[in-house]
Amino acid sequence: MAEGKKVTRITAKDDAPKAAKPAKATPSKAVKARKVTKKTDAVATEETTKKSVWARIGGYFKGAWQELRQVRWPNRKATWALTVAVILFSLFFMALIVLLDMFFKWIFELIIA
């Protein structure tokens, strides 16, 4: 360290007053009133079976489209980089398998001959 330069160290101090513990949240009346029973489960499954087949298929594609809109697609540069990585990875393992195949063929020829 050069002479004449002084280093000032900064430390964090907790000067803020301590916050009170949060009170336990009590469930609202609506949550208390709603209890799951076998009867309500049966009603829920009955309502889903009443939907037409076409409505369920439409709902599936609507949900799939919403999920596709949330995907973060790579740009052109990232796409090419990943494509090259996959090709190099495949070539490396192809060469490894060919070399192992040649090695085992040589070993078996020594054993059998």
Question: CA nearest 93: which of 104, 105, 83, 85?
Answer: 85
pLDDT surpasses 70 at 53: yes
**Structure token digits, residue 36:** 């799951």
Q: Give the model confidence (pLDDT) of 67-103 as tens digits.
A: 999 999 899 999 999 999 999 999 999 999 999 999 9
pTM over 0.75: no
pLDDT surpasses 80 at 110: yes
C-alpha span between 86 and 79 (Å, rounded): 11
C-alpha span between 68 and 61 (Å, rounded): 10
- List the domain boundaries for the chain: 29-71, 74-113
C-alpha span between 84 and 76 (Å, rounded): 12
Residue length, the chain? 113
C-alpha span between 19 and 35 (Å, rounded): 35
